[in-house]
């Protein structure tokens, strides 16, 4: 991503409703499927470190971060207090079977990510029995100015994303949509209100009342735990055999 988008992320990820919502879902998934708990966790594409900090607050498990942008990586290390290195998911600078779990949020969708190569690398650095957790943007038809701003090249269906993980050698693959209750508002924002090439990404400050409302709806969906037929994102979990 461009430096301006990293700056927006750094300012927003501790309080913006979407980041809080996705972080909660990642933590839920890791609690249910911790992988090899005696080994550290990798946040591949950690951005400016918001989720790494949540991990440090939620668990004593060691974690490491990686981001393509060296300035973002430095910020992530300072924010989270965890070791973070600059590098690419296409060629992870870690030894084989080094991690018991790995998380990657909206990274395989980036123009700079080779999704098959990145999945092969994540498979390589996970120990047998390790867990991979991915979040990906949903539906090619939802591509918008937001995606152009954050350099997304791809959006996914749950079925397509699950098939990619199986083809990469992962097992016990689960894939589910989330942010389904808010999908109509997302479509309105992306395809009607902010459909022009000059529009900004969706990352930023919301009025407090709106942020609380959006987070409340998303959290209600999360706590209900019901599978949804559609949503703005796909959350996947898989095991490295």
Which domains occur in the chain, in start order? 3-239 (3.40.50.150)
Q: Please give the pLDDT value at position 100.
A: 98
CA distances from 184 to 181, 195, 216, 225 (A): 7, 15, 16, 20
CA atoms within 13 Å, Cβ hemisphere of 121: 19
Alpha-carbon gap, residue 108 to 113, rounded angstroms: 6
| 127 DSSP 8-state letter | E
Instruction: Extract the tokens encoding 193.
Output: 């209100």
Residue 117 near residue 106, CB atoms below 8 Å: no
Nearest to 119 by CA among 163, 153, 64: 163
Radius of gyration of the chain (CA): 17
* Range 23-28 average pLDDT: 98
pLDDT at 206: 84
The secondary structure of residue 180, as a DSSP letter, is -
Lowest mean pLDDT among 88-97, 109-118, 145-154: 145-154
Least confident among 71-80, 146-155, 218-227: 146-155
pLDDT single digits (tens) 180-203 = 999 999 899 877 766 666 666 667
Total count of residues recorded for the chain: 241
* Whole-number pLDDT of residue 12: 85
Q: Enter the DSSP assignment of 112.
A: T
Q: Any idea of the CA torsion for 88, 94, 95, 100, to the nearest 10 degrees?
A: -100
């Amino acid at each position: 991503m461009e430096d301006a988008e990293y700056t927006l992320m750094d300012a927003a990820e501790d309080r913006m409703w979407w980041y809080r919502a996705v972080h909660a879902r990642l933590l839920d998934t890791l609690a249910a499927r911790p992988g090899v708990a005696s080994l550290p966790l990798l946040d591949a594409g950690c951005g400016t470190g918001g989720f790494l900090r949540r991990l440090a607050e939620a668990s004593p498990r060691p974690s490491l971060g990686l981001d393509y942008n060296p300035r973002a990586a430095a910020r992530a290390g300072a924010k989270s207090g965890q070791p973070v290195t600059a590098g690419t998911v296409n060629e992870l600078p870690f030894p084989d079977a080094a991690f018991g779990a790995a998380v990657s949020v909206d990274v395989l969708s980036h123009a700079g990510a080779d999704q098959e190569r990145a999945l092969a690398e994540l498979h390589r650095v996970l120990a047998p029995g390790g867990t991979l957790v991915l979040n990906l943007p949903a539906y090619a038809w939802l591509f918008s100015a937001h995606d152009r701003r954050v350099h997304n090249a791809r959006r996914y269906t749950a079925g397509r994303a699950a098939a990619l993980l199986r083809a990469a050698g992962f097992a016990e693959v689960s894939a589910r949509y989330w942010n389904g209750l808010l999908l109509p508002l997302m479509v309105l924002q992306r395809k009607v209100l902010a459909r022009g090439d000059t529009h900004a990404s969706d990352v930023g400050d919301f009025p407090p009342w709106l942020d609380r409302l959006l987070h409340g709806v998303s959290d209600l969906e999360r706590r209900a735990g019901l599978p949804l037929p559609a949503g703005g994102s796909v959350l996947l979990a898989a095991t490295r055999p």
